[in-house]
Chain A
Amino acid sequence: MPVTPISSSPAWERRLPKESIYIDSCIWIAQYKPDELTDEQRSGISWLNEQISMGNVIAVASSLLLVELLTVSAELIEIAYDGRKGLLVAADDAICHRARELQQKCYADKQKCLSNLDALHLSTASVQRCQRFLTLDKTRKNNQLSPLADKQYLERLLGLKIVDPTTLEDQKKLDL
């Protein structure tokens, strides 16, 4: 007897990419001013853009981009993060709660805090379970923690890898 399901699933299939990478807003900023990047950083970012274009990785970002990239048209950001190759995540209260916890934990452990924006970006990446967090941020402002300078501590806390674009070329070895 042929078997007929009681509620049929639509005929879609999910082809999940291998990895989701959170792209910090400073990477967008750096792409305007490529002269300020080293050759390795430029080549790393361009390699990542190709990987996203081919659908091998998903680019994730926070909706904070809309206020951090005020001179870029919102339309460009919306198209880039179209829900297919890129995903713009709403900085909603779940993310803000996580950012608050992260800041409190950092202060309890290190007597230092993350900036509000860094905390929101990192907690978005963590909530979205991104495997990597791509940033250029290594300067500690006002005795605060910075993602690259305090990489090991934050990686352990968040369960993701914080990477500089210069190391992105090495990702090729991971067969993204």
Chain B
Amino acid sequence: MATTTAKTERSITGKKDLTVTIEPRSKQARSLLPDVIDQLESLTRFLKSLSDGDTTFEVISLSKQSPMTAVLRGLRRTKVAAKKRVEGRAYTYRSNGTTTDRAAKALTALASHKKLPSYVDPYALTHLRDFADDLGKTDHTATVTANGETFKVDERLKEQIDSSLGNIRIAYTSYTGELGRLNAHGSKWSFTIFPPAGPTRILCYFDSKEIEAIRSLVTEVVTVRGRAVYRGETAWPVHIRVDTVESRKSAPEGFWAELPSKLKDHWHDASDADKFIACMGAEVA
């Protein structure tokens, strides 16, 4: 019977899949499902941040016995032509191994203290660090097998990530962009904003009490304000702990094209303005 299960697992597990095994470090440590879900969540965030497209992950095999083993497969979302749609589905998901390759290269570089590939940004490293951190808190360790190589996720890896990331800086700031990827499971609820220019995305953690307000803003353009965490020299935050989220009013059609005439309407009384400018100096209008 055991042989049959093994064969079945082998047949569904592809070369480009990623296997993660989570095991307790001591006999006292127990694998509780909510903890494991949180840990897998951090791992999938790491994998997602390595992918350059619209990639998501499917758990194709999960063994809940100790040690817990999960097999993850990367799926790339692709648009289906209108004529070929089945049951009106606009997208299909195809197996994609790019992220597994990248994860293997990133972990190899970290383990050997070599230069990280360009696609491994502080954002991705922070998620991997979260994964190692979550494991440490529950007294677990994990091994990740990707591309035939096995990597240990433990305190040592966390230290390597920290040395690669550099110092933590914290600042209160704001970012504007489209709100998407609402994630309301696990212990850290989050959404991502996608600014129209600059950083491609910013992960925002929010208080679970605000879920209804946040849900109503999905796909809206918002300005988030809060405590941003920066690592090393990077000028973009790895995440923001959100205090306020404000929906942005859209500019009317053709607003920019008509800007010079609109500016005249919004110009304050000319004589007052001239006095004001004279008082403030040349760099103010």
A binding-site residues for B, Cβ under 8 Å: 3-12, 14, 16-17, 20, 25, 28-29, 31-32, 34, 46, 49-50, 52-53, 58-60, 67-73, 75-76, 78-80, 82-90, 92-95, 97-98, 115, 117, 127-130
Contact = CB atoms under 8 A, between A and B. Distances in A.
Interface of B: 44, 54, 56-59, 75, 77, 90-91, 93, 95, 169, 171-178, 180-183, 194-198, 218-219, 221-223, 228, 230, 235-237, 248-252, 254-257, 259-260, 262-264, 266-268, 273, 276-277, 280, 283-285
Nearest to A50: B257
B256 A29 contact: no
B58 A6 contact: yes
A132 B77 CA distance: 33
A85 B251 contact: yes
B276 A70 contact: yes
Given A31-B260, A50-B257, A53-B255, A92 B171 contact: yes
Given A14-B194, A53-B255, A82 B221 contact: yes
B175 A90 contact: yes
A87 B196 contact: yes
A82 to B, nearest CB: 5
B256 A53 contact: yes
Given A16-B196, A67-B284, A87-B176, 17 more contacts: A6-B58, A9-B180, A9-B181, A20-B196, A20-B197, A28-B263, A29-B285, A53-B255, A58-B197, A68-B285, A69-B285, A73-B266, A82-B249, A83-B177, A90-B175, A94-B169, A94-B237
Contacts of A68: 283-285
A93 B276 CA distance: 29
